[in-house]
């Protein structure tokens, strides 16, 4: 190994956007260093050259001291998809917030339920992102996530009416589609473009 850093556009063995430094050939992830530098600069809350240089040094030192395994997470950023996701999240926060507020002040006892919603995406990062998006809306709280069957289990208020349950499921599927379109790889997007899986046998079971 050479003493100088080798960037990935020279060296085809490296993962994209990374460089290899030192004699032991540690691999540094350049977007991660940029992100850590941005946080460093924002913590100092002044934007000047000294902050950027110390930020790069600290970020590289942290990445060398605590190395991450070189895996491809499958994270792709689609700017238009991110904008659509943010807009839909805001809209959904508003409508679900109104719904939860109405249930708070309704005063009548509602019946809650735990429903399972099968998802279409399969990668770990996408499942985690969908769970984060679903729990950020006031209507859904994720209890459990099954990785093998890619099912997310939600606690929903107001489960007496079947149309509310269907609305909750459709909301999760819509959020899933938007999240994968914002962050997913191409085959995940193709998987999400299919219609949602048919409801399970236990869905919409009448009350005991």
Partner 1 sequence: MNVWIQLLDTAGALLVLIGAAISLLGVIGMLRLPDVLSRSHAATKPQTLGMLLVLAGVALRLRTGMDLATLALIAFFQMLTGPVASHLVARSAYRTGQVDHGELLFDELDEQLTDGK
Partner 2 sequence: MSVFEQIDRVLLTAAIVLVLAAGLLLLVRIWRGPSMLDRAISLDVIAALIIAGLGAKSAVALDSFYFPIMLVLAFLGFTGSVGIARFIAVRDRPQAVTVIAPSPAAPPGAGGRSGDDAGSGSDAGSGPTKEDPK
Residues near partner 2 (CB under 8 A): 42-43, 45, 124-125, 127-128, 131, 144-148, 208
Q: How far is the CB of 35 from partner 1 (least distance, A)?
A: 10
53: left (phi over 0), alpha (psi -120 to 50) or beta: alpha
Which residue among 146, 147, 170, 174 contacts partner 1 (CB under 8 A)? 146
Q: How far is the CB of 167 from partner 1 (least distance, A)?
A: 15
Instruction: Return phi, psi of residue 114, to 5°.
Output: -110, 120
Q: Taking the CA of residue 197 as centre, how many other CA atoms within 13 Å lie in the half-sphere pointing to its CB?
A: 16
Q: Which does 136 bind (CB under 5 to 8 A by kind): partner 1, partner 2, none?
A: partner 1
| Strand, coil or helix: 64 | helix
Q: Which does 148 bind (CB under 5 to 8 A by kind): partner 1, partner 2, none?
A: partner 2
Residue 64 interacts with partner 1 (CB under 8 A): yes or no: no
Residue 200 interacts with partner 1 (CB under 8 A): yes or no: yes
The DSSP code sequence of 68-112 is: PP---------HHHHHHHHHHHHHHHHHHHHHHHHHHHH-SPP--
Residues 26-45 touching partner 1, rule: CB under 8 A, are 38-39, 42, 45
Report CA 41 to chain centroid distance, whole Å. Answer: 25
197, 90 Cβ separation under 8 angstroms: no
In angstroms, the CA 27 to CA 69 distance is 10
Residues 106-135 touching partner 1, rule: CB under 8 A, are 109, 111-116, 131-132, 135
Query: Applying CB under 8 A, which residues contact partner 1?
Result: 38-39, 42, 45-47, 90, 93-94, 97, 100-101, 104-105, 109, 111-116, 131-132, 135-146, 153, 155, 157, 159-160, 200, 202-203, 205, 207-208
């Amino acid at each position: 190994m050479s003493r100088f850093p080798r960037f990935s556009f020279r060296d085809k063995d490296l993962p994209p956007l990374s460089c290899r430094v030192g004699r032991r050939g540690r691999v540094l992830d350049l977007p991660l260093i940029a992100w850590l530098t941005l946080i460093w600069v924002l913590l100092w809350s002044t934007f000047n050259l000294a902050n950027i240089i110390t930020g790069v040094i600290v970020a590289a030192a942290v990445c060398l001291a605590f190395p991450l395994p070189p895996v491809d997470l499958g994270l792709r950023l689609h700017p238009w998809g991110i904008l659509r996701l943010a807009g839909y999240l805001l809209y959904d926060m508003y409508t679900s917030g109104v719904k939860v507020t109405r249930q708070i002040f309704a005063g009548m006892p509602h019946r809650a339920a735990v429903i399972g919603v099968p998802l279409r995406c399969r990668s770990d990062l996408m499942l985690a992102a969908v769970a984060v998006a679903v729990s950020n809306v006031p209507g859904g709280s994720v209890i459990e996530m099954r990785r093998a069957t890619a099912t997310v289990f939600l606690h929903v208020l107001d489960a007496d009416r079947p149309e509310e349950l269907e609305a909750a499921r459709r909301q999760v599927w819509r959020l899933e589609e938007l999240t994968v379109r914002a962050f997913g790889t191409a085959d995940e997007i193709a998987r999400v473009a299919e219609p949602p899986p048919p409801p399970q046998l236990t869905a919409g079971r009448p009350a005991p």
